[in-house]
Structure 1
């Protein structure tokens, strides 16, 4: 019951400010047609309901199962198994990420079909999956995050120099959209679960940085597409 109240408050505080701003603008400056304004209000209600149900589902289902999977994998004592499932889970949550699908559809339209929607989605998913597995490897071997970030962005800058300019903004947008409502909760929960078993009391600090590292993968994947298609 407390989860329901907390998520309802979170949605209200997230949606009300933008709603009030649009209402004020409607009656002071923009004066949208009545039917358009009514559609906006209906949309606000639907977004609020959808966001409430989504956040409730994340806290009830995604976060607990992510932590349970993360805490169970290290008990197998098989690094290959941890990395495989880290990659697999990173891949599938990226494919399910709505932000990635929106970006891929827009790029498909802009490129005239040269870069198909599914090619971009799967490339981004593979990139995030690889770096999600690398994030778990960092926790297992206690590798400093700064060296992995420096190495990752060094690869990004090298590829950017060899890629057509039109692919560079797309690649960084791809890195941004993968940090969306599906991927972030699951990846963070997975990292917390792994770190809680391997690092114990230092699990909180070890589980940070997973999203920052994982988001490099999609950038590199799109830049590689640029090298291929360019």
Structure 2
């Protein structure tokens, strides 16, 4: 029961400040029609309920299963299979990410369908999947995290030279939306699970489970930039 109360308190602390600010603005500066303001309050109520249930589900289901999968994978002792599983998990989790859906819907509207909703979602998902797979390779082969970050962002800035200007902000937003409430918990739990097994073999590798999100965020930036070069 205390676990549910903690989730309720967390959601309340996240939503109430926004409701307070909008309410103050409503009665001081904005003065929207009351039916619109009531719709806002009803929407906030549904968002609060949905976010509460979502976070409960994440802590009950996503985090444990992600960590269990991560701790089981290294026991397979087949690097290619571990990398393939990381790729497909990164793909499906990103497709399910609500933040990615919101960005794709907005881009679809702004571009009048030139960049379709599904095209952007799958482009971002493939970018994340490739870099989750790279993160798996990094852990299995004990590669330098710093070198991978420098190389990844080096490619980002190099590709930015050839990417149409209107695709650059979309690319970096694509990297941001992959740090949403679905992708981050699962990827972190997966990384911690793999690291727990590797740490048992080598106690110095205590931080290997982290950095997955940093690497995964580079993938969609590069993927959308490539999409921009193609469409440009």
TM-score class, shorter-chain normalisation, is over 0.9
Aligned to 1:211: 213
Consecutive unaligned residues of structure 1, counting only runs of 5 or more, are none
Contact 1:82 1:136 in 2 (8 A): yes
Deviates more, 1:177-186 or 1:62-71: 177-186
Cα distance in 2 between the residues matched to 1:106 and 1:22: 23
Cα distance in 1 between the residues matched to 2:173 and 2:79: 32
Residue by residue over 1:129-172, the C-alpha shift from the partner in whole angstroms, topping out at 9 and shown as x without a partner, is 00001112212222221100100011111111111111111111
Structure 1 length-normalised TM: 0.95
Cα distance in 1 between the residues matched to 2:119 and 2:204: 39
Deviation at 1:30, TM superposition (A): 2.1
Deviates more, 1:11-20 or 1:71-80: 11-20
Aligned to 1:180: 180
Deviates more, 1:20-29 or 1:7-16: 20-29
Deviation at 1:124, TM superposition (A): 1.0
Aligned to 1:48: 48
Describe how 1:26-41 pairs up with structure 2 within 5 A. Answer: 26-41=26-41
Deviation at 1:204, TM superposition (A): 4.8
Cα distance in 2 between the residues matched to 1:109 and 1:38: 26
Residues 111, 76 of structure 1: alpha-carbon distance in 2 compared, 3 angstrom cutoff: same
Describe how 1:112-127 pairs up with structure 2 within 5 A. Answer: 112-127=112-127
Aligned to 2:164: 164
Describe how 1:67-106 pairs up with structure 2 within 5 A. Answer: 67-106=67-106
Contact 1:192 1:203 in 2 (8 A): no
Secondary structure (helix, strand or coil) at the match of 1:205 reads coil
Deviation at 1:209, TM superposition (A): 1.1
Deviation at 1:193, TM superposition (A): 0.4
Contact 1:192 1:204 in 2 (8 A): no
Cα distance in 2 between the residues matched to 1:42 and 1:112: 30
Aligned to 1:143: 143
Contact 1:196 1:203 in 2 (8 A): no
Cα distance in 2 between the residues matched to 1:75 and 1:148: 25
Aligned to 1:59: 59
Cα distance in 2 between the residues matched to 1:225 and 1:31: 42
Cα distance in 1 between the residues matched to 2:206 and 2:51: 27
Secondary structure (helix, strand or coil) at the match of 1:192 reads helix
Cα distance in 2 between the residues matched to 1:120 and 1:75: 35
Deviates more, 1:25-34 or 1:172-181: 25-34
Contact 1:68 1:193 in 2 (8 A): yes
Secondary structure (helix, strand or coil) at the match of 1:215 reads helix
